Structure formats: C-alpha cells, structure tokens
C-alpha cells in the first residue's frame, strides 16, 4: 500500500535521522581525533598528561574520544531528520503534476533550502559538541550554552553562519547528483528488464 504524503515525509526523515545517529556514533572517535588535531587541542585530557602511567593515559584517551558523543549524535540525527523532512515536503509541493521528475536546478534549490532550515537548531548543538570534543569546556549543555552567550552574546551560538550560506550547497549538490545517478540506473535497469521479459516471451513461443 502506498504511503500518504505526510507518512512518506515522516518515513524519509526518520530513516535519515536514524542513519545520521548511527554513522556519527560509529565514527565519533575518528571525528574527535580529527577535530582535536585541526584545532591544535591536546589529544589527552590535561590531568592525564605528564608523568601519568602509559596505561592510564591510554584509558583516558579512549574515554575522552567519546566525550560529547550525545550532543554530536543528537545534532547529526536532528539535521538529517529536518533536512529530509523539508526536502520531501518541498519536492512534493513543486513536483510536476504530469509525473515528470523535478528539474536539476529546482532540485538544487530544494536541497539548499532544506539544508538551511535546520541551522537555527543544529548550529548551537554542533558548537557544544565541538567544545566537548576538544576538551575546551565541560559541564551540561545548558552550562556550556550559558558560557557561550556570556562570552559572545547570542550571536556566539551562530559563529560562521555566513560560511554556511555557501556550505549548504554541498549536501544539495550531493543529493541532486545521487538522485540523477539513481534515476539513470533505474531507467537502464527498467529497459534491461523489459528486454529480458520480451526475450522470455519469444523463448516461450
């Protein structure tokens, strides 16, 4: 049975959210190391550096690699959920009534707007997760958010927002290319299936 449009949007968004959560959780230690190296932060917590036994340093490093995972996983699942919910909704709104696929430029525009829509929610979440990863700040999410607002005002939660107006093109391009390649493959697969079906009919005759 075909899904209704609201159910289709929810199904696509939920699947994307779960996928984002799982991928972030699995790759989180590598992401933490990358973030620390890029920011110049120490790989080990400060209290475990120096003369601490090697075993203690290894255990501390392993634990610290998962520091802030709850915030990053929540940010990833939220961004993916909202992106695909917005994308599916907008695609249904502008889809041609004759059943033809959405044009490439329109698809890019939809992807761009879908990526923009979750930034007001996910940018502060990403900032908290990054601070936890680098060990530059500890505490609850509310404490970290209060400290950021105290230091830089509300605008501090959205540092680098201008760059995102360009970066939002990346997922839009990725998803558009994916959809185009998928469409090409499905058309070729359909043609191959039809040719195979015609051959089977001839053999039966």
pLDDT in tens, 182-194: 888 887 777 655 5
pLDDT for the residue 10: 85
Rounded to whole angstroms, how far apart are CA atoms 31 and 39?
12
Supply the pLDDT for residue 43: 67
Residue 4 half-sphere exposure, CB side, CA atoms within 13 Å? 2
Q: How many domains does the chain have?
A: 1
Give the domain range for residue 67.
5-204
**pTM (2 decimals)?**
0.74
CA distance 49 to 41: 13
Which of 30-44, 45-59, 105-119 is the least confident region? Answer: 45-59
Token couple for 89:
């909704």
Look up tokens 């039966």; give the residue.
204
Give the pair of three-digit tokens for residue 39. Answer: 């920011």
Asked if 17 and 78 touch (Cβ cutoff 8 Å), the reply is yes
Mean per-residue pLDDT of the chain: 80
Rounded CA separation 95/117 (Å): 20
Is residue 44's pLDDT more than 90?
A: no
Whether residue 116 is predicted with pLDDT greater than 90 in this model: the reply is: yes
Structure confidence at residue 175 as a pLDDT band (50, 70, 90): confident
What does the pLDDT average to over 167-192?
A: 82
Q: Pick the more confident residue, 73 or 182.
A: 73
Q: Looking at residue 114, what is its pLDDT?
A: 92
The enclosing domain of 74 has a CATH number of 1.50.40.10
Point out the least confidently predicted range of 14-18, 50-54, 125-129, 143-147: 50-54
């Amino acid at each position: 049975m075909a899904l209704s449009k609201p159910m289709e949007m929810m199904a696509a968004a939920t699947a994307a959210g779960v996928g984002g959560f799982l991928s972030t959780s699995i790759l989180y230690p590598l992401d933490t190391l990358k973030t620390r190296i890029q920011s110049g932060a120490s790989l080990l917590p400060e209290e475990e550096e120096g003369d601490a036994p090697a075993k203690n340093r290894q255990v501390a490093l392993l634990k610290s690699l998962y520091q802030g995972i709850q915030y990053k996983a929540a940010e990833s699942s939220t961004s993916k959920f909202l992106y695909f919910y917005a994308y599916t909704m907008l695609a249904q709104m502008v889809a041609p009534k004759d059943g033809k696929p959405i044009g490439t430029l329109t698809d890019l525009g939809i992807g761009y707007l879908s990526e923009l829509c979750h930034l007001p929610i996910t940018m502060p979440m990403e900032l908290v997760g990054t601070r936890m990863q680098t060990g530059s700040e500890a505490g609850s999410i509310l404490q970290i958010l209060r400290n950021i607002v105290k230091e830089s005002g509300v605008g501090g939660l959205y540092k680098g927002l201008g760059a995102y107006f360009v970066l939002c093109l990346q997922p839009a391009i990725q998803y558009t290319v994916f959809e185009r390649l998928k469409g090409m493959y499905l058309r070729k697969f359909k043609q191959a299936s039809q040719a195979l079906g015609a051959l089977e009919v001839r053999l039966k005759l």
